[in-house]
Amino acid sequence: MARRPPTPPPPVDMPNLARAIEIMATTLQQQKTTRLAAEASRLHQQPHTFSLEDFLRHNPPKFNGKVNPDGADQWVRDIERIFEATQCPEERKLFYAIYVLTEEAEFWWIGMKQMMEDKGEDATWENFKVRFLDEYFPDSVRYAKEIEFMQLEQGNLSVTEYATRFKHLARFYTQTMIEDWRCRKFEFGLKQ
């Protein structure tokens, strides 16, 4: 069988092709100009400054220092939830958190801040959290919760109550926990 020569492409309509390219280039330039104008406008707008009033609108819990360790842990998580939801700037977090300290906790912070300054430590939210949890949620409590997690069984709890307790205590487990092991641990603690 003899091969046929390939069919040549149709002739190019140069005036229409040039016009199409010109239209595409103009459209791309307009899109670029619009995008750059929007970006410049966004950069030049005065950003909203997250204020104390904005923080207080979220009803942050006060902390007086007279709670059990779980209450202190919960307070930090509640405050951080507000920080995350409001995208609170890092440099404002400590100021807002100490604003809701009262009574014993307020006096604790005054003394702790002075100790940190004497040691040359920065008073930041992250450093505050470490010191706060050392004071109100000490390692001994964390270790006790880890042991409680390791020994957790459903017992007289409903499955829902057991699952809630399991999730709560699993946070304190200090080893890397792969999902398969976690599932087996949960299953092992259920009533047989």
Share in percent of the chain as helix, strand, coil (round to 5): 65, 0, 30
State whether residue 63 is helix, strand or coil: strand
Alpha helices in 100-189 (DSSP H): 103-118, 125-136, 139-151, 159-170, 179-189
| Pick from 1-5, 144-148, 153-157: least confident | 1-5
Smallest CA-to-CA distance from 133 within 176, 83, 77 is with 77
pLDDT tens, residue by residue, 18-57: 777 788 778 777 877 777 667 666 545 545 577 788 888 8
**In the prediction, which pLDDT does 47 show?**
55
Domain boundary assignment for the chain = 52-137, 141-189
Query: What are the phi and psi torsion angles at 63 (to 5°)?
Result: -135, 120
How much is the pLDDT for 33?
A: 74
What is this structure's pTM? 0.59
